[in-house]
A and B are shown apart, each in its own frame.
Chain A
Amino acid sequence: MITYLFIGLFLLLFVTAALAPLESLNWWAGWSREGEKKGPAELTEAEAAASDEAESDFYVIYLSGIGAISGDSFPEEEYPFLHGLEERLTTAKIITDVYPYSVTNNGLTGQRQLAGLWRQIEKMRFKNPNSILSLLVNLRNALQMFVSADRRYGPVYNLGIANEIYRVLREKGYRPENKRPIVLLGWSGGGQISIGAANYLAALPSPLYVISLGGMLSDDPGLEKLTHLWHLYGVADPLQALGSVLYAGRWPILPNSPWNQAMANGRIDIICLGAYTHNGKGNYFDMETKLPNDARGRTHGEKTLDTIVHILTDQKLLRPGARMYGAGKTAAPSPVAVASAAVTAPVGAHDPSI
């Protein structure tokens, strides 16, 4: 009996996985009504030009991890992080309402057949963030991440996401002719989808940067086109490490793969944050657990934020001395130290200022 149950579950999982690419394929083939768009209305060129939104110095598009339910429903731990990001990047426009697990930006609780189920799970997760059923969201979105990384489906899927990113950018006042930099900040599965969407977004005249937070990255062709990628990881995070195992293009035996070429050309920096985990205590967003031996007494989440600020300062997107944790407090390093580190030090694992 248990054997049959096991076989049944296994088959169900396989069938679900096989059906995963159909949403994006249907959209591409023009079969899906979702192709007509169900998110916010499409901006026309004239509307965008007349937008009241002023151009920002640069744009940060946050693509959440596989726990996201829609463009405005993330796991709770991400909100303080996003708030911290807004506090620090005052000259940037931070965009969080792109749902990276749907080519039409249609969140799970949007107009879908199973929307009712996802709404129930969302409610349940609100009460208990560790609810077992919320794993269904992770499973569903993880499959979409694999769709993005698959060479058969990726070009279609990533075009859909790039379209949505571009549409939201226009909505927020982005004008291609001003060439303001675009930063894709992808957490976990969002990291892979960022490098996938980079394939298309790189066609815009702006510099295109990707920051991956524990992303499970493949050897996506998008790596050949983006301006620079920083991959932030923790040594206690085995999920981000899976990328280098699952995708042959990341193995050293294939030196001509997009990943290895980008590494050889110095367009990828791998930055170790410490003993960060992927989920639970000590993860990238944890604003409570203090780092061991940190001179500034920061939490995991604060160091993640500081590292992002440091990267952006290094790229001259932020002015040296931009707010980092402890600025104005007694434990803060002197502005001169921050400024000189930002100008001279390469961003990397051995940079003590991070």
Chain B
Amino acid sequence: MLDLVQSILTYFDYLFQVIRYALALDPRLYEVVATNPRASWLVLGVVFLGGASVLLGQSVVLFVNRVRRGRFILSLILNGVMYVISYFVWGVTIALIGRLLFEFDPGPWAIVRIVGLSTAPLIFGFFILIPWMGPFIGRVLNVWGFLILVSVIEFGFQVGLVGALVTVGLGWLVMMLLNNLVGKPILALRNRIWQRVAGTTLDATSQDLLLQFSQSEHAPELLRGSRP
């Protein structure tokens, strides 16, 4: 029992060390991940904390679409699964580009782990909820994550700053291309899953609420009767 508590504490100690290194763009990050036998678990911890926080930060859409309380957690979990899949694809893309351009040694799994580490700033993703400055915070966190990724690839694979920028930049372009080419069918599939899990396709935004209201011929009645 004591051993279990001890190993949990050690795990969290390493986890916070990894997060600190990642946030500070410290080159020792790659070393810790390369040498620590628990590296995969540490990365998983970073991704989990970042994912949970950012999903809460972006949960406005669930409220606006009036997802029922019981389905809220389920929707967050599903969102989390989608988030992990997108980071996995992002990691594999970068690994392939690195192998093609710079003959990266490590396999795709190592790169996926590194991409996972770049999600460390997203532990502050909850703050995206902050009114007025939330969207700006979201952008700062994304840029921060991008810089972590560039620095880890630069030091980890010794490709220099330009090489790392080219790899990550091309990876981003490929992801955008994939989004546009196969985005629609994936979106349709996602919507179908959402419909089952959340009870709605979650495509309503707060702006639609204004639109719906302004186009209604019965606006005064809607005002009177609370919610349209």
Contacts and interface: CB of A to CB of B under 8 A. Distances in A.
B34 interface: no
Interface string B108-139: 00000000000000000011011110110000
Chain A interface: which size bin? 35 or more
Contact of A203 (B64, B126, B213): B213
B24 interface: no
A246 interface: yes
Contact of B214 (A25, A203, A246): A203
Chain B interface: which size bin? 20 to 34
Interface in B52-107: 57, 60, 62-64, 66-67, 69
Interface in A6-38: 14-15, 17-21, 25-26, 28-31
A29 B214 contact: no
A137 interface: no
A155 B66 contact: no
Consensus secondary structure, chain A interface: helix
Interface stretch (B2-10, B12-20, B184-192, B217-225): B217-225
A146 interface: yes
Interface string A197-209: 0011101110000
A221 B63 CA distance: 21
Interface string B205-227: 01101100110100110111011
B66 A30 contact: yes
Given A18-B127, A19-B129, A143-B131, A155 B223 contact: no
Given A163-B223, A200-B219, A29 B209 contact: no
B207 A14 contact: no
A162 interface: yes
A19 B209 CA distance: 22
Given A25-B60, A166-B223, A18 B130 contact: yes
A221 B210 contact: yes
A159 interface: yes
Interface string A268-284: 00000000000000000
A184 to B, nearest CB: 14
A176 interface: yes
Contact of B129 (A21, A149, A154): A21
A21 B60 contact: yes
14 contacts: A14-B130, A21-B60, A25-B64, A28-B63, A28-B66, A29-B63, A45-B224, A143-B131, A152-B131, A155-B207, A166-B223, A166-B224, A201-B223, A221-B210
Interface of B: 57, 60, 62-64, 66-67, 69, 126-127, 129-132, 134-135, 206-207, 209-210, 213-214, 216, 219-220, 222-224, 226-227
Q: Which 3 A-B pairs have the closest CB atoms?
A: A203-B219, A146-B131, A25-B63
